[in-house]
Amino acid sequence: MAIKITTELLGDHPALSSVDFGKEFSTSWIRGGDGFVGFGIWKSTTVSGANRFADARKWWREQLSNFEIHNNVHGSGTGPILFTSFAFDEDQPSHLVIPEIIVGQKLGKSWITWVGDDPQPAFTNSPEEKSHPTITWSQGSLADDDWQARVANAVTRIKSGELDKVVLARDLVATASSEISVRALIKNLEAKYPSTWVYQVQGLVGATPELLVRLSKSLVTSRILAGTIRMTGNESQDLALAASLAKSSKDLEEHEYAVRSVADALAPYCSSTNVPDSPFVLHLANVMHLATDVTGVVNESAIPVDIFTVISSLHPSAAVCGTPTPTAKRIIDEIEGMNRDRYAGPVGWIDARGDGEIGIALRCGLISADHLTVRLFAGCGIVAGSKPEDELAESQAKLSPMRTALETL
């Protein structure tokens, strides 16, 4: 029997992170007030292994084949949506979630999608969160000195010609005195980092500035970030730092590897691509990045291409792994000293048409099932000119968004 999925316009334009249906606040993807939030879980599964992206496509198509879709809104992101959170490594579980209720908002238009024959669910604004847990911090998989030694090891191997770049990540553990409210955490991230994509899927929460791929009809877009400098909060100093970042040979080298890896991965599927000659400086609340937006037009005459195809070609990019990718991945496995889980994996949403936005799970934390601990992650691109103490400082800056969001609950 077909499962009814209905999408209708909403007269109100709610603040997405404040909407409440009396169900679990299960998924979110918000940027600048627009995006999606999901409530309840209608169906979920996990995939793993070398064919995980193909298996995810198969599972999503199987669900779609059972839906009777009544979409009175139309457009990208309307109708049923699959939320995805893939692990960095293929042998770790990746999560796929279809919420019971989804509220979407874009360019002043709001809509609701729900599963089942019931009338449109009524929403209210969520009450203010009253829990203010005390957060204590502890070392993750490696102490700071040990991690810096591994960065030095990577630099030595790069200088020897073994590879050009490798990304090394580290983790940090937060322990709360009472349960952490995911909704309050999302609100904190959204308020502080409105230009990022604020997400949550199956316990993974974060605010990523990096878009692995957006597919809208035949237009594909990827935002690449590589090269970072910490902001001071002083406007004139930060302008000078932005100028130095734009001229830094070390950061430009790191950025070029990341851009080239994405452009090369997209080329087989696109009739044309646009790769800007130089990056721009992206200003966030705590750091600045070198950034490049690569765009392309999918070649319709080629073999059928969907977003799962593009994800599998792009992940892992040089921005989160290194160059050349196979060598960098081997070195990560040898010296990084931790399991990344879903950190630096593809995270986002895909609709029934195959459109979607998939970010890279950065500036994130993995919340435990009891909501009392969070494992935070940060990574740094290591090239020949890298200095371990500078990379440690950069990683601390990248941990700051989640640290601040947790400490201000």
- Cite the active site residues: 165, 210
Alpha helices in 267-369 (DSSP H): 307-314, 325-335
* Tally of CA atoms within 13 A in the half-sphere of 72 that contains its CB: 11
For 315, which DSSP code? S
Element (H, E) at 28: strand 25-31
CB atoms within 10 A of CB 269: 19
Query: Are the CB atoms for 7 and 70 separated by under 8 Å?
Result: yes
- Rounded-to-integer distance, Cα 91 and Cα 82, Å: 21
Query: Are the CB atoms for 336 and 169 separated by under 8 Å?
Result: yes
Query: Are the CB atoms for 132 and 96 separated by under 8 Å?
Result: no
Nearest to 383 by CA among 225, 222, 246, 226: 226
Strands (E), 204-286: 204-208, 211-216, 219-230, 270-274, 280-283
Query: Are the CB atoms for 204 and 364 separated by under 8 Å?
Result: yes
- Rounded-to-integer distance, Cα 54 and Cα 47, Å: 10
- Rounded-to-integer distance, Cα 203 and Cα 289, Å: 27
Does 316 sit behind a cis peptide bond, omega within 30 degrees of 0 on the bond before it? yes
